[in-house]
Chains A and B, each alone.
Chain A
């Protein structure tokens, strides 16, 4: 708690009214806007401390733990699934090319580059989807307005391209 917040809470505990506290704060060197922010509680909101955020996050996760774990598992599963599917498709196409006898090392190298690029794109899309649904589930834990898994997946699905683009911009 900052000095100004401490002073405000002490004065309030002593039964001093807000106008008198504001006047006292100005007299003590704080400006009027700082005094008003401290009295409205805005100043303490401005200084959201990390330890408080950790506590709040743990409380939010605890409040919606089952859904967050389920959503995280689905997100991770989909991410792995997508990458494994690419490997399988690429492996099958390599196998087909080898069976046709027309595969050169240059083809392998260029295909490997294409495959790596494809994996990077799919992994980043899957990551964006995971981020979206986990953030939505955490928000439900904060607000107490719990959505079903289907609603979370649908909302996440509708918005994940925006999150993906944001990740690319970042």
Chain B
């Protein structure tokens, strides 16, 4: 009986520790992905506008451009767009019928995508001016 209880508690402990490890790995991976996303947010634009650079060197170049203030800017921008998107969705669904609200949401997303493209181009140009 004691052996059974010990085995069961060891299994429970094993299960909870592996669950903890999985959560830890997921958290670390998420943090790394967010960090990499902020460091490499303008990578497609660097590849587009600095066409003389080899593609693998654009990664290092992007990282240099975004380091510091570029990352803070990008996080602020994402938070702003997320909040605006949520606010617009709530507003549209409260005013219009579901189908029409969805159509308007799609159009707003398209317009916001264009504005986001513009902001990212401006961010790239600003970082290039500041860092060189």
Q: Please report A residues at the B interface, Cβ cutoff 8 Å.
A: 42, 45-48, 50, 53-54, 56-58, 60-61, 68, 72, 128, 131-132, 134-136, 138-139, 141-142, 158-159, 162-163, 165-167, 169-170
What is the chain A residue whose CB lies nearest that of B47? A166
24 interchain pairs, CB-CB under 8 A: A45-B129, A46-B130, A47-B69, A50-B76, A53-B122, A57-B115, A57-B119, A58-B115, A61-B114, A131-B48, A134-B117, A135-B117, A138-B121, A139-B121, A139-B125, A158-B51, A159-B47, A162-B51, A162-B55, A163-B47, A166-B47, A166-B48, A167-B43, A169-B43
Bound CA–CA A136/B120 (angstroms): 12
* Additional A-B contact list (10), CB under 8 Å, known A53-B123, A138-B114: A47-B69, A50-B76, A56-B122, A58-B118, A132-B48, A139-B125, A166-B55, A166-B58, A167-B43, A169-B55
Which residues, 30 to 52 on B, are CB-close (under 8 Å) to A?
A: 37, 40, 43-49, 51
Does B96 make an interface contact (CB < 8 A)?
Answer: no
Closest CB in chain B relative to A49 CB, distance in Å: 8
Do the beta carbons of A50 and B48 come within 8 Å of each other? no
Number of B residues whose C-beta is below 8 Å from A?
Answer: 32
Contacts of A135 in B (CB 8 A): 44-45, 48-49, 117, 120-121
Do the beta carbons of A162 and B119 come within 8 Å of each other? no
| Partner pick for A46 among B43, B47, B69, CB 8 A cutoff | B69
Contacts of B44 in A (CB 8 A): 128, 131-132, 135, 163, 166-167, 170
Does B18 make an interface contact (CB < 8 A)?
Answer: no
Given A45-B129, A48-B69, A142-B125, the answer on whether A53 and B48 have CB atoms closer than 8 Å is no
Contacts of A139 in B (CB 8 A): 49, 121, 125
Q: Please report B residues at the A interface, Cβ cutoff 8 Å.
A: 37, 40, 43-49, 51, 55, 58-59, 69, 73, 76-77, 80, 110, 114-115, 117-123, 125-126, 129-130
Bound CA–CA A75/B129 (angstroms): 29
Contacts of A163 in B (CB 8 A): 44, 47-48
Contacts of A57 in B (CB 8 A): 115, 118-119, 121-122
What is the chain B residue whose CB lies nearest that of A72? B114
